[in-house]
Amino acid sequence: ISTDVASHLRWINMKEGDISIARLKGELNMEHGRYWLLSHADTTETSIDLGRLSAVLQEMGIDSSVEQATNGGLGSTFVLHVHEPSEAVVEVQQTRTVIGTSDKHLASRIFEAVDRVLCGI
């Protein structure tokens, strides 16, 4: 794997021991008897697939909507607003995700949804 491809990998440590895995969009090519793993040119602006997060939340009975809030020096910030069963805000950037709500149970369920999206390899 070339350095530019390897630098985009997001490693996930598995609970079953000392195993780490990563997902990579790309294609495997063979040239002159050697294999090359090439990444796709598209890059994501966030660490979480917001469409998938919204779908997982919907499956859990949590109503939400997504908006692009700002495009500052640290990259784009997307905001997911949770409307039901109570209110919450999830701010998603390329390197971090912040869950804001006064309902601890809802925060736990949102965290579970984020975990399902990130570990859904």
Residue type, position 86, single letter: S
Interval 23-63: pLDDT, tens = 666 677 777 777 766 665 554 555 677 888 888 999 999 99
Alpha helices in 2-103 (DSSP H): 3-6, 50-59
pTM for this structure? 0.60
Q: How confident is the model at residue 96 (pLDDT cuts 50, 70, 90)?
A: confident
Q: Is the pLDDT of residue 65 over 80?
A: yes
Supply angle C-alpha 27, 54, 79, rounded to 5: 100
Mean pLDDT of 67-88: 78
DSSP state, 11? -
